[in-house]
Structure 1
Amino acid sequence: MARKVRVFVKDSSQHVILKSLDKLTIFRDESDYRAFVTILQECNAGHGLAIHAYVLMPNYFEFLATPANEDALSKFMQSLGRKYVGYFNKKYNRSGTIWEGRYKSSLVEDLKFLFDIMIYIEKKAPAEHIFSSKQKNLYNKKDDVVTYHGLYKKLGFTDEQRVQKYSTLFNAKSDEKKVEFIAVCLEKQNVTGGLEFVKNLEKIVGMILSSKERGRPKKDSIEKGKKMYKNLVILDKENHKELKINPLTDLNFAKSATHIPLLASEVSQIGATFPIVFTADETPSLVAVVSLGADSLAITTDGKWITSYVPSYIRRYPFSLASTKENPEQKMILIDEDSSLFSKSKGKQLFKKDGEKSETLDHAINFLTSYDAQMNITLNVAKIISQSGILEDREISVGEGDEKKVLVKGFKVVNREKLNALSDDILADWVRKGIISLIDAHLKSLNNIQTLFEIVQKRQN
């Protein structure tokens, strides 16, 4: 079984736990605790990890932290684990590891779960236990390990105000369902976040990050529709050494997609034919609406895109890309193993006879890398637009009154009046950054809602 993919999102915290082997007591006296804290601070000095909450218990170390970059957490944990093993084995005259295995981590949706996880961690510390961030966050005592999170700082203008408000949260009755959810997410290394947050991450990494227990997406979301990828697996040069790929000529694999995620650079091209909207998520993305509730209207009966330009989201199939926390420098290539584009008898080889990547595979990897970089830029732009408050809910429907039938809902568009009401400095900044050009293309594309009906009518005829 492949290792669980660790997901990194800039400025998002991670809930982490490192357990001892067979519940070995790794802190046998106070000097062990103090030695671990010293090593912890030394290891963190160059790795840019802001620790917001932590607890040291006899057989595990658990904490909440925001990594400064993609490999900050993994490098910190490797260094910490190795150095404390050296200290412990020397002191107690033993050899071998003291750790259960790899640390477990869960990416956190901070706005919804930050304080819940801080409290979850700190409530594990006994009342008089001093090796916990509770001493600082709850009692305002000195602790050089802890760095306040931005949300904690917003609790008040002074340390006393923050402690008072955090104390209120800390002493409130626990939501047992939320506590269980946090525990399960960490144990299974799932994302600790709401459905919308998780779905947005899935768009970025191109694979499912949620567990089946989370349930299906809401029916009123524009996100409904079958996914293109049916069986994503890690590309392996041994298991797939004979695999060949054929040209992307038949797009029927995307026939059931009701919307297509877009890069900011594609809005003008795709918007010339289809309406471009913002998803109604807390972290919205740009999508082209290509359906009125049934199959895609952008793909013809013979599997062709109806215009000359095919969106990057479609063109990257049957590949996808993700990063691993063990080696963030190296990208993990995924393929839809069930794709009809793959064959062992015809097409272009993915690997050369010596096991090295072929030119075809190199080209695919370069495309994926460029796509992910541009998608991150697009999501940041969509976030800026959303935070300005100029988006409003919209739906596509037919008929009126009792005869009204909603065909597409769960999306947002820019309100022109709210856009014009923004301050001059914001508008000027958006002009320089190209955001206004994107918004103009988006607004113009909304005229193509009628185009969807015209395509339906032509196909019916």
Structure 2
Amino acid sequence: MARKVRVFVKDSSQHVILKSLDKLTVFRDEEDCIAFKTFLQECNTGHTLAIHAYVLMPHYFEFLATPSNEDALSKFMQSLGRKYVGYFNKKYHRTGTIWEGRYKSSLVENTRFLFDIMIYIEKTAPEGHSFSSKEKNLHNKKDDIVTYSGLYKELGFTDEQRVQKYATLFSSKADEKKVEFITACLEKQNVTGSLEFIKNIEKIVGIALSSKERGRPKKEEIEKGKKMYKNLVILDREKHKEFKINPLTDLNFAKSATHIPLLASEVSQVSTTFPIVFTADETPSLVAIVSLGTDSLAITQDGKWITSYVPSYLRKYPFSLAATKEKPEQKMILIDEDSSLFSKSKGKQLFKKDGEKSETLDHAINFLTSYEQQMSVTLNVAKIISQSGILEDREISVGEGEEKKVLVNGFKVVNREKLNALSDDILADWVRKGIIAMIDAHLKSLENIQTLFEIVQKRQN
């Protein structure tokens, strides 16, 4: 596949992310983060890159910057990546790269999206996280890495005024559609900007930048923009000491989900009702298609799953796991603080009177830990299948010719002929590992595309 064309426009910022290989934890302790920041400053000697916002997270480095020239960003990233690989491999006695591949970047329309992206980046940093630009932009703390953008300076005539106005923007409720748009543009390396901005850039650079896929993710695409968590926060034994949780009986929090992530161990159970497919992104995963472009067909009007087995992705709600900043190998518990499952008057306590975890919370943590371990196995299996070259693009559509309407796209399925053409030793290995059984269930499940149409017809009737 051809590489995405990188576009440079003078005085326009770039939203950039550099991910680790196979979610390797590349920032394991404070020493690693300090070393990376040191290399970052060394590689930016002369400030050929004006960095406006950044964050170091266990598996990636993300930032917003304005390059001074066409080669500034690529040279900076190449030098930074190599220096840190050398440091990391020496410290942890390993060899080879630690990065997923080339960094991803998106040209930004500053006047519309600069502050949104700064906040988008900085809000991923946990509270008290020392390795982000939040302390500089939000509290005017010293940080030699950050250079204020012209738009930031226009927020006021003094640093105090700028911080106050930025804090107001930061605390405002996020526009979920805009967040989804920013996420999609970076992932696909499209321009984060309006159609008018893109057309002007196309005239300047002489390259077509817009496409049918450009813009905010369509409802019918298999993508990761559907979020059932509305307000994820770290579970705090003091702040949430009075929180009680009620049974998960209403699944309407996932009503807008067009697909549901699955574990490999769940495929056989879910495949009897819904089509199971592979996502078409660089890191494929297994999902069940539960919609034809509207709300979920798997959830009834009263919030019930239409079959007896509810996927574990839904059952772990309203809890989630994330890595801690000091010890990425350790995990912290997150909760959707706005979930209707939580109450202070009824339900089972999360914490005992002495502040220790209740049996209910222990059970939730064990479930989350098991889910994460199984998801790691699932992603590895999907990666193996994808690397074998047997997946092909597929879509769900109705009508033909000019009347054709695509309802769902952006997913892949196994090509049976390519599967059968694999070498005998590979097939034998896949049989022993249960991969072939899972693929058979996946292929059989595609018959359930018709089931989705039948559900739609019943609901219309």
**TM-score band w.r.t. shorter chain:** 0.5 to 0.7
Q: Which whole-Å deviations, capped at 9, do the CAs of 1:107-154 have from their partners, x for residues lacking one?
A: 4499xxxx9989416769xxxxxxx959x99xxxxx9889863499x9
Please identify, of 291-300 and 222-231, the stretch whose mean Cα deviation from structure 2 is larger. Answer: 222-231
Cα 1:59–1:253 change in 2 (3 A) is closer
Match of 1:442 in 2: 442
Structure 1 length-normalised TM? 0.61
The aligned amino acid for 2:337 is E
Secondary structure, in 3 states, of the residue corresponding to 2:340? coil
Gaps of at least 5 residues in structure 1 are 1-6, 19-42, 45-49, 61-102, 125-131, 138-142, 155-168, 170-174, 192-207
Cα 1:366–1:268 change in 2 (3 A) is same
Match of 1:258 in 2: 258
Could you tell me whether the CA contact under 8 Å between 1:324 and 1:331 is conserved in 2? yes
Secondary structure, in 3 states, of the residue corresponding to 1:223? coil
Match of 1:398 in 2: 398
Could you tell me whether the CA contact under 8 Å between 1:245 and 1:350 is conserved in 2? yes
Secondary structure, in 3 states, of the residue corresponding to 2:299? coil
Secondary structure, in 3 states, of the residue corresponding to 1:282? coil
In 1, the alpha carbon distance for the partners of 2:380 and 2:442 equals 16
Cα 1:241–1:123 change in 2 (3 A) is closer
In 2, the alpha carbon distance for the partners of 1:108 and 1:116 equals 20
1:330 CA displacement: 3.5
Query: 1:349-360 residue pairs with structure 2 within 5 A?
Result: 349-360=349-360
1:297 CA displacement: 0.7
The aligned amino acid for 1:349 is Q
In 2, the alpha carbon distance for the partners of 1:280 and 1:10 equals 17
Could you tell me whether the CA contact under 8 Å between 1:225 and 1:258 is conserved in 2? no
Could you tell me whether the CA contact under 8 Å between 1:318 and 1:336 is conserved in 2? yes
In 1, the alpha carbon distance for the partners of 2:83 and 2:377 equals 35
The aligned amino acid for 1:451 is T
Match of 1:299 in 2: 299
Cα 1:121–1:148 change in 2 (3 A) is farther
1:373 CA displacement: 0.5
In 1, the alpha carbon distance for the partners of 2:342 and 2:448 equals 35
Cα 1:400–1:364 change in 2 (3 A) is same
In 1, the alpha carbon distance for the partners of 2:229 and 2:283 equals 23
In 1, the alpha carbon distance for the partners of 2:223 and 2:42 equals 43
1:456 CA displacement: 0.9
Match of 1:233 in 2: 233
Could you tell me whether the CA contact under 8 Å between 1:244 and 1:347 is conserved in 2? yes
Match of 2:279 in 1: 279
Could you tell me whether the CA contact under 8 Å between 1:268 and 1:441 is conserved in 2? yes
Cα 1:322–1:418 change in 2 (3 A) is same
Cα 1:400–1:348 change in 2 (3 A) is same
Q: Identity across aligned pairs (percent)?
A: 68
In 2, the alpha carbon distance for the partners of 1:454 and 1:55 equals 56
1:460 CA displacement: 1.2
Q: Which whole-Å deviations, capped at 9, do the CAs of 1:27-57 have from their partners, x for residues lacking one?
A: xxxxxxxxxxxxxxxx99xxxxx99x95885
Q: Does 1:149 align with 2:105?
A: no
In 2, the alpha carbon distance for the partners of 1:228 and 1:241 equals 24
1:17 CA displacement: 12
Gaps of at least 5 residues in structure 2 are 1-18, 46-54, 63-70, 126-178, 187-191, 193-214
Q: Which whole-Å deviations, capped at 9, do the CAs of 1:389-411 have from their partners, x for residues lacking one?
A: 10011111111112211111110
In 2, the alpha carbon distance for the partners of 1:274 and 1:421 equals 27
Cα 1:425–1:105 change in 2 (3 A) is same
1:8 CA displacement: 7.5
In 1, the alpha carbon distance for the partners of 2:383 and 2:436 equals 14
Larger gyration radius, structure 1 or structure 2: 1
1:383 CA displacement: 0.5
Match of 1:318 in 2: 318
Query: 1:203-242 residue pairs with structure 2 within 5 A?
Result: 214=186, 218-219=217-218, 221-223=221-223, 226-242=226-242
The aligned amino acid for 1:454 is E
In 1, the alpha carbon distance for the partners of 2:43 and 2:79 equals 15
Cα 1:329–1:57 change in 2 (3 A) is closer
Cα 1:357–1:116 change in 2 (3 A) is farther
Secondary structure, in 3 states, of the residue corresponding to 1:366? helix
Q: CA RMSD in A?
A: 4.5
Structure 2 length-normalised TM? 0.61
Match of 1:385 in 2: 385
In 2, the alpha carbon distance for the partners of 1:16 and 1:440 equals 40
Cα 1:437–1:122 change in 2 (3 A) is closer
Match of 2:76 in 1: 120
